[in-house]
C-alpha cells in the first residue's frame, strides 16, 4: 500500500538532461528550481496561484504541442517529460516578451531609483535586449506619477502590467486598493477609481512595492541608496508580537530601508510599521548618546564611571537603610531575551528582591495568570499559520488585528476570502466587522457575561464535547450550574446585544470543526481581566477545541518581545521559564546556579510598586525601556510615585517623559545595534542581528546591567549574547534545546527541551500542561467605574494602525506623522449631534482623575454613549484620565473602561 502511494505520488522527468523526481502536482517552475535552475518570472509570486500572464517563464517541452513552449509556472511535471529551460527557442521567446515590454516602458534607467535593483533590467541584460525593436507606432503614454503616499512613489510609465501589486494587495493584504483601469493602450494599474494612494483605502504596508519587478512602485527612501552600495541583515521586527522577519538595508553605518523576508509568521508580508517605521528612529538625532546625571534639576553629561558609581552608591545605600524590597526594576519588553534575562538576574542577585516586572503587567498579565491556572501555560496555544489556514470559523474577542497585529490581520482576511467564517466580539466596528458573519457589539467590560451566555446556549443545545470534558478536564459541574443562570436574554441585556445573535454565534462556534479563539486586550485590560481570560479557556474546553490543529485559546501578545520578557522571568512570581519563586526547590536551583542567596519574599508587580513608591515604601527604581508616565493609567498617581523616589534610573533610547524624572539616564541601544533574540506571540524564538554600530557612548543594555552587578559585589560578564542564551538554556527546561547555531536555520517554538526537539507547534496535545484542564465557574462582575450623571460616557482606550504605544519609534518617522499626528476621540453621530460637536472639533474630555483636550472623530465606529481614544499622542494623553483600578489576580489596570464627560471647547 505504501509503495503504491509512493509510486503514484511522485513523477520523474528530465530537465536540461538532468533527471529529477518530484511530488505529483509540482509545477515545472518548482521542479527546475529544485535542480537549482533559474527560470525568469515577472508575474509569478510563490505564495499565490500561478498567473501565467507575463510569459517570461516559458520552457520547451520535447514533442509538446503549441510548438512545445509552455509557461513553467502553470504546467505540471509529468512522468517521462523532457524539458529544456534554456534552449534557443526559449530564449527567442523570452527576448520577444522583453522586447514588447520595453516598447511600453519609460526606459530612463539612469534616473530611476531602482537602477540595479530591477528585474526587468536584469532580464534584459541576461537576454541581450538593449532596446525595443517596436519603434513603429510605439506608444509614449503620458501617465502622471502618483507621489501622494508618504512612503512610496508610483510611476505608471514604468509599469509592465504584471499585476503582482494588485494581486498581493487583494489576495494577501486583503485590501484591494489596486486594479487595472481602462482598456487597450490606455490600460493602467491604479488605485481604485483612478484616484491617488492618499485618497484610497491603502494601509501603506508597502507589500505591493516589495513585489513590483520594476521601478514603477518604489520606496521614497530608495532615492538615498543604490542597491550595490548596501548590505542587508536579516532580523525581527521591533514592533508587535507577530514577529515578522525582515531585512534591514544598510548603507555605511546607516539604515536606509527595510524589506520583507520569508519568516514563519509573515511569509514575505510586513505592515507599515515594520516596513517604514523600523529604521529612521535608530539614527534619529535625538538618540541618547551619553550617560546623564541630574544636578540641581538639570541633566549633565557624565562618564560611565561616574554614572555607574552613583547608581551603585545610591542603590546600595537604599538597600542598607530600607531593605532590599525598597528597590524595584521594570524590564523592557522591546529588548531582547538576553537583555531581559540579565536584567532580572541583576534585580534578584544584587538588589536582592523579587520586585521585577515588565509591561505584560499592564497588557497580558491576565493571560499569563489566567491560562497558566486553567491550562498550565499562559502562552498562545496554536501558531498563527495554524489558526488562519483552513479553519472553519474564528471567534475574535477584543482583538483588532488589522491594526494591532496587521500581518496576522492580513492572514485572517485571507482566510475569510477562502471561506472561513468570523464572529467579531468587540464594542467597536473594527475593520474586520465588515467581513464578519456576526458582530456581537458588546459593551466594554462584559466579556464574562458574553462567554457565560455562549456556554449556556452550548450546554442547553447539548453541543458540548462530553468525552473531552470527562477525560481531560475538571470543575465542569460547578461551571454548568453557574452558567445555567446566563440565559441569552439576560446576557443580551448586560451586553446590549441581540439574544439571537448570541445563540447563533454559540452554535456556529460549537459546531465548527476547526475554530480558534483569538483574543487580545479587549479581554485582559479589565478589573475582571483574569476572569475574562479564564472564560475564554472555559469556552474552548467546553467544546473540546484545544490541543488540536486550527483551534485553541490564542492571546495575541502585544510587544515584539513581551512573551520573551515573561519567559525570562521578568515577573515577581517567576524565575526564568515560569519556575515559581515560592517553591523552595526552585529557589535552591537558582541559588546554586547563580551562586548567591536569593530573596524568599513575595515580589510586587509594577502596578503595586508605583503606589508603594508614593507611600514611601519603595525608594529606588531601575526602569529599563518603559515609559510609565505616558503608558500607565492615571498619570497623576505615576507622577506622585516617581517624584517621591530617592533614586530613579532610566535606561532608554530617548529622553522620554519618564526619563525626565530620573536621577540618572543611561543610553541603551536599539534592536538594530545588537545581537539577541525575540520571542513572538506564537512562542517562536527568533534572531535579532546587529546591523549598525551604536551611537556615541551608548552600550549593550546587558553589559550595563553586568557592570552594575559587578560594582554591587557580584562579578558578572558575558562575551556575547549567545553565551547568555546558553545560560538560559541550562536553567530553563523549555529552552533546553535552543541555541544560536540552531536559530540560524530559523526560529524555534518553545517548549524545545532537547537538542533534537523540533520545538512545539501546538500546545496541550494529548494532555494539558497542567494535567487536567480546569473549568472555573465565574460570575459576571461590572467594571469598577460606570457612567453616571456627572460622567455619562463609557470610555475605552486602545490602538490605531500607524502609531505604536508611546510613539518612541513611529513618532520619529515623518511619513507616519504625516498620516496621523494628533489625538482624537471616536464618538457616535448621535452623541456628537446632542453635544453640538462636528468632525475635527476640539473637545474637552474629563474624568474623576483630570481633563484633557482632543479632537472629535465622529462616526458610527462606537456605540452611542460610548467613546474610544488611543494613548499614542502627547497632546491629550488619555492616561491622564484613565482609571488606576486593578484586577485582583494579575493586578492589571482597567484601561478599557472608565466614565468620562465630553464638551466642546
Distance (Å, whole) CA 355 – CA 602: 8
Site string for ligand MGD, 388-407 (x = CB under 6 A): ---------xxxx--xxx--
**Beta strand 217-219 pairing with 18-23:** unpaired
Determine if 536 is a binding residue for ligand SF4 (CB under 6 A).
no
Residue 160 binds which one of ligand SF4, Mo ion, ligand MGD, none, with CB within 5 to 8 A depending on kind?
ligand SF4
Determine if 124 is a binding residue for ligand SF4 (CB under 6 A).
no
User: According to CB under 6 A, which one of 58, 81, 102, 177 is a site residue for ligand SF4?
Assistant: 177
Q: Smallest Cα–Cα separation from 334: which of 574, 571, 668?
A: 668
Determine if 612 is a binding residue for ligand SF4 (CB under 6 A).
no
Determine if 521 is a binding residue for ligand MGD (CB under 6 A).
yes
Determine if 805 is a binding residue for ligand MGD (CB under 6 A).
yes
* Nearer residue to ligand SF4 within complex by CB, 267 or 849: 267
| Neighbour count for residue 592 (Cβ, 10 Å) | 9
How many residues of this chain bind Mo ion (CB under 5 A)? 2
CB 820 within 8 A of CB 803: yes
Four-CA torsion 688, 692, 693, 698, nearest 10 degrees:
-60
* Nearer residue to ligand SF4 within complex by CB, 431 or 700: 431
Determine if 413 is a binding residue for ligand SF4 (CB under 6 A).
no
The secondary structure of 489-527 as a DSSP string is HHHHHHHTS-HHHHHHHHHHHHH-SS--EEE-HHHHSST
Residue 445 binds which one of Mo ion, ligand MGD, ligand SF4, none, with CB within 5 to 8 A depending on kind?
ligand MGD
Distance (Å, whole) CA 291 – CA 289: 7
Residue 202 binds which one of ligand MGD, ligand SF4, Mo ion, none, with CB within 5 to 8 A depending on kind?
ligand SF4
Query: Least separation, in Å, of the C-beta of 443 and ligand MGD?
Result: 7
Site string for ligand MGD, 350-379 (x = CB under 6 A): ---------x--xx----------------
Q: Going by C-beta distance under 8 Å and a sequence separation of 6 or more, which residues neighbour residue 567? A: 337, 576, 577, 578, 679, 732, 734, 735, 750
Q: C-alpha 22: how far from its chain's center? A: 36
Query: Least separation, in Å, of the C-beta of 840 and ligand MGD?
Result: 22
Q: Smallest Cα–Cα separation from 256: which of 691, 634, 718?
A: 691
Query: Least separation, in Å, of the C-beta of 321 and ligand MGD?
Result: 28
Q: Is 395 helix (H, G, I), strand (E, B) or coil?
A: strand
User: According to CB under 6 A, which one of 646, 701, 866, 887 is a site residue for ligand MGD?
Assistant: 701
Determine if 189 is a binding residue for ligand SF4 (CB under 6 A).
yes
Give the residues across from 623 on adjacent strands: 330, 650
Q: Smallest Cα–Cα separation from 548: which of 399, 379, 767, 776?
A: 767
**Beta strand 517-519 pairing with 393-397:** parallel
Cell of 29: 517552475
Q: Smallest Cα–Cα separation from 240: which of 669, 678, 672?
A: 678
Determine if 204 is a binding residue for ligand SF4 (CB under 6 A).
yes
User: According to CB under 6 A, which one of 121, 365, 367, 879 is a site residue for ligand MGD?
Assistant: 879
Site string for Mo ion, 557-596 (x = CB under 5 A): -x--------------------------------------
Q: Smallest Cα–Cα separation from 420: which of 544, 498, 509?
A: 509
Backbone angles phi, psi at 120, to 5 degrees: -60, -45
CB 167 within 8 A of CB 48: yes
| Neighbour count for residue 115 (Cβ, 10 Å) | 16
Residue 805 binds which one of ligand MGD, ligand SF4, Mo ion, none, with CB within 5 to 8 A depending on kind?
ligand MGD
User: According to CB under 5 A, which one of 177, 363, 508, 706 is a site residue for Mo ion?
Assistant: 363
Most distant CA pair in the chain, distance:
91
Distance (Å, whole) CA 457 – CA 438: 16
Residues from 738 through 757 that contact Mo ion (CB under 5 A): none
Q: Is 632 helix (H, G, I), strand (E, B) or coil?
A: coil
Query: Least separation, in Å, of the C-beta of 836 and ligand SF4?
Result: 36
Site string for ligand SF4, 379-408 (x = CB under 6 A): --------------------------xxx-
* Nearer residue to ligand SF4 within complex by CB, 263 or 376: 263
* Nearer residue to ligand SF4 within complex by CB, 215 or 532: 215
User: According to CB under 6 A, which one of 169, 250, 350, 653 is a site residue for ligand SF4?
Assistant: 169
The secondary structure of 414-467 as a DSSP string is HHHHTT-EEEEE-SS--GGGGG-SEEE-PPTT-HHHHHHHHHHHHHHTT-S-HH
Query: Least separation, in Å, of the C-beta of 605 and Mo ion?
Result: 15
Determine if 425 is a binding residue for ligand MGD (CB under 6 A).
yes
Query: Least separation, in Å, of the C-beta of 671 and ligand SF4?
Result: 11
- Distance of CA 526 to CAs 791, 796, 887, Å? 19, 10, 7
Determine if 416 is a binding residue for ligand MGD (CB under 6 A).
no
Residue 798 half-sphere exposure toward CB, CA atoms < 13 A: 30
Distance (Å, whole) CA 746 – CA 748: 7
* Nearer residue to ligand SF4 within complex by CB, 172 or 849: 172
Distance (Å, whole) CA 396 – CA 425: 6
* Nearer residue to ligand MGD within complex by CB, 113 or 666: 666
CB 382 within 8 A of CB 556: no
Distance (Å, whole) CA 72 – CA 39: 8
Determine if 175 is a binding residue for ligand SF4 (CB under 6 A).
yes
Query: Least separation, in Å, of the C-beta of 238 and ligand MGD?
Result: 7
User: According to CB under 6 A, which one of 791, 804, 863, 873 is a site residue for ligand MGD?
Assistant: 804
Stretch that binds Mo ion, among 210-218, 554-562, 746-754, 873-881 (CB under 5 A): 554-562
Residue 768 binds which one of ligand SF4, ligand MGD, Mo ion, none, with CB within 5 to 8 A depending on kind?
none
First-residue to last-residue Cα distance in the chain = 79
Give the residues across from 258 on adjacent strands: 248
Residues from 246 through 305 that contact ligand SF4 (CB under 6 A): 266, 270-271, 273-274
Query: Least separation, in Å, of the C-beta of 846 and ligand MGD?
Result: 16
Residue numbers of the site for ligand MGD (CB under 6 A)?
240, 332, 334-335, 359, 362-363, 397-400, 403-405, 425-428, 430, 442, 444-445, 447, 520-522, 525, 558-559, 624-628, 631, 651-654, 656, 668, 670-671, 701, 796-799, 801, 803-806, 808, 871, 878-879, 882, 895-896
Residue numbers of the site for ligand SF4 (CB under 6 A)?
159-165, 168-169, 173, 175, 177-178, 189, 202-208, 211-214, 216-217, 237, 239-240, 242-244, 266, 270-271, 273-274, 405-407
Residue numbers of the site for Mo ion (CB under 5 A)?
363, 558
Amino acid at each position: 500500500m505504501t509503495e503504491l502511494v509512493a509510486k503514484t505520488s511522485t513523477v520523474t522527468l528530465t530537465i536540461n538532461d538532468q533527471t529529477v523526481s518530484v511530488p505529483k502536482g509540482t509545477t515545472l517552475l518548482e521542479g527546475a528550481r529544485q535542480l537549482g535552475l533559474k527560470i525568469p518570472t515577472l508575474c509569478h509570486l510563490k505564495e499565490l496561484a500561478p498567473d501565467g500572464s507575463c510569459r517570461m517563464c516559458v520552457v520547451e517541452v520535447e514533442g509538446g504541442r503549441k510548438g512545445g513552449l509552455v509557461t513553467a509556472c502553470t504546467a505540471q511535471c509529468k512522468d517521462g517529460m523532457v524539458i529544456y529551460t534554456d534552449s534557443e527557442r526559449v530564449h527567442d521567446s523570452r527576448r520577444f516578451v522583453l522586447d514588447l515590454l520595453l516598447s511600453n516602458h519609460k526606459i530612463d534607467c539612469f534616473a530611476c531609483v531602482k537602477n540595479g535593483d530591477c528585474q526587468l533590467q536584469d532580464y534584459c541584460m541576461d537576454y541581450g535586449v538593449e532596446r525595443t525593436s517596436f519603434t513603429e507606432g510605439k506608444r509614449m503614454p503620458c501617465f502622471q506619477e502618483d507621489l501622494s503616499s508618504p512612503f512610496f512613489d508610483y510611476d505608471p510609465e514604468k509599469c509592465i502590467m504584471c499585476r503582482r501589486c494588485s494581486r498581493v494587495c487583494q489576495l494577501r493584504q486583503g485590501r484591494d486598493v489596486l486594479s487595472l483601469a481602462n482598456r487597450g493602450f490606455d490600460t493602467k494599474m491604479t488605485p481604485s477609481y483612478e484616484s491617488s494612494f492618499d485618497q484610497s483605502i491603502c494601509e501603506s504596508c508597502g507589500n505591493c512595492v516589495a513585489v513590483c519587478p520594476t521601478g514603477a512602485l518604489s520606496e521614497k527612501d530608495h532615492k538615498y541608496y543604490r542597491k550595490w552600495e548596501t548590505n542587508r541583515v536579516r532580523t525581527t521586527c521591533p514592533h508587535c508580537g507577530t514577529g515578522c522577519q525582515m531585512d534591514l538595508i544598510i548603507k555605511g553605518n546607516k539604515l536606509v530601508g527595510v524589506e520583507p523576508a520569508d519568516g514563519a509568521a509573515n511569509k514575505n508580508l510586513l505592515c507599515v510599521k515594520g516596513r517604514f517605521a523600523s529604521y529612521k528612529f535608530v539614527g534619529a538625532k535625538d538618540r541618547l548618546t551619553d550617560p546623564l546625571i541630574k544636578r540641581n534639576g538639570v541633566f549633565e553629561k557624565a562618564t560611565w564611571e561616574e554614572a555607574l558609581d552613583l547608581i551603585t552608591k545610591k542603590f546600595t545605600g537604599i538597600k542598607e537603610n530600607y531593605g532590599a524590597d525598597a528597590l524595584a526594576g521594570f524590564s523592557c519588553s522591546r529588548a531582547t531575551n538576553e537583555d531581559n534575562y540579565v536584567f532580572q538576574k541583576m534585580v534578584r542577585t544584587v538588589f536582592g528582591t523579587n520586585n521585577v516586572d515588565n509591561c505584560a503587567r499592564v497588557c497580558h498579565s491576565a493571560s499569563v495568570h489566567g491560562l497558566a491556572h486553567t491550562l498550565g501555560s499562559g502562552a498562545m496555544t496554536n501558531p498563527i499559520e495554524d489558526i488562519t489556514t483552513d479553519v472553519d470559523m474564528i471567534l475574535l474577542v477584543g482583538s483588532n488585528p488589522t491594526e494591532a497585529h496587521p500581518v496576522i490581520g492580513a492572514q485572517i482576511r485571507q482566510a475569510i476570502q477562502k471561506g472561513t467564517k468570523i464572529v467579531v466580539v468587540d464594542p467597536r466596528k473594527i475593520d474586520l466587522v465588515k467581513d464578519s458573519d456576526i458582530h456581537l457589539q458588546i459593551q466594554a467590560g462584559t466579556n464574562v457575561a458574553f462567554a457565560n451566555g455562549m456556554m449556556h446556549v452550548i450546554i442547553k443545545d447539548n453541543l458540548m464535547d462530553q468525552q473531552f470534558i470527562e477525560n481531560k478536564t475538571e470543575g465542569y459541574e460547578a461551571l454548568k450550574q453557574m452558567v445555567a443562570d446566563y440565559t441569552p436574554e439576560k446576557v443580551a441585556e448586560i451586553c446590549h446585544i441581540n439574544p439571537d445573535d448570541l445563540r447563533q454565534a454559540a452554535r456556529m462556534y460549537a459546531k465548527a470543526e476547526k475554530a480558534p479563539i483569538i483574543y487580545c486586550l479587549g479581554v485582559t485590560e479589565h478589573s475582571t481581566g483574569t476572569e475574562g481570560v479564564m472564560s475564554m479557556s472555559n469556552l474552548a474546553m467546553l467544546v473540546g477545541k484545544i490541543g488540536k490543529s486550527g483551534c485553541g485559546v490564542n492571546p495575541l501578545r502585544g510587544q515584539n518581545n513581551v512573551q520573551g520578557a515573561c519567559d525570562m522571568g521578568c515577573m515577581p512570581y517567576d524565575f526564568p521559564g515560569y519556575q515559581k519563586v515560592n517553591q523552595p526547590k526552585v529557589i535552591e536551583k537558582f541559588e546554586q546556579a547563580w551562586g548567591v542567596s536569593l530573596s524568599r519574599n513575595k515580589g510586587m508587580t509594577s502596578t503595586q510598586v508605583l503606589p508603594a513608591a508614593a507611600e514611601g515604601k519603595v525608594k529606588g527604581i531601575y526602569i529599563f525601556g518603559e515609559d510609565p508616565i505616558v503608558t500607565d493609567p492615571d498619570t497623576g498617581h505615576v507622577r506622585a510615585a516617581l517624584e517621591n523616589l530617592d533614586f530613579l534610573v532610566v535606561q532608554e533610547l530617548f529622553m522620554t517623559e519618564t526619563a525626565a524624572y530620573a536621577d540618572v539616564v543611561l543610553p541603551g541601544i536599539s534592536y538594530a545595534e545588537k545581537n539577541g533574540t525575540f520571542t513572538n506571540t506564537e512562542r517562536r524564538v527568533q534572531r535579532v542581528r546587529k546591523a549598525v554600530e551604536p551611537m556615541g557612548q551608548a552600550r549593550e543594555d546587558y553589559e550595563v546591567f553586568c557592570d552594575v552587578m559587578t560594582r554591587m559585589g557580584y562579578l558578572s560578564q558575558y562575551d556575547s549574547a549567545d553565551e547568555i542564551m546558553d545560560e538560559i538554556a541550562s536553567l530553563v527546561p523549555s529552552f533546553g534545546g535552543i541555541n544560536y547555531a540552531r536559530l540560524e536555520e530559523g526560529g524555534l517554538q518553545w517548549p524545545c527541551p532537547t537538542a533534537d526537539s523540533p520545538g512545539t507547534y501546538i500546545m496541550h496535545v494529548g494532555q494539558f500542561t497542567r494535567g487536567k484542564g480546569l473549568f472555573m465557574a465565574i460570575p459576571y462582575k461590572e467594571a469598577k467605574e460606570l457612567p453616571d450623571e456627572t460622567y455619562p460616557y463609557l470610555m475605552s482606550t486602545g490602538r490605531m494602525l500607524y502609531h505604536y504605544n508611546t510613539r518612541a519609534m513611529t513618532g520619529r518617522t515623518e511619513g507616519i506623522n504625516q498620516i496621523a499626528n494628533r489625538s482624537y476621540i471616536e464618538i457616535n453621530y448621535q452623541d456628537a449631534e446632542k453635544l453640538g460637536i462636528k468632525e475635527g472639533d476640539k473637545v474637552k474630555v474629563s474624568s474623576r482623575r483630570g481633563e484633557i483636550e482632543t479632537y472629535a472623530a465622529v462616526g458610527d465606529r462606537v456605540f452611542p454613549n460610548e467613546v474610544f481614544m488611543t494613548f499614542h499622542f502627547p497632546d491629550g494623553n488619555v492616561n491622564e484620565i484613565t482609571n488606576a483600578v486593578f484586577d485582583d489576580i494579575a493586578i492589571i489596570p482597567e484601561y478599557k473602561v472608565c466614565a468620562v464627560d465630553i464638551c466642546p471647547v
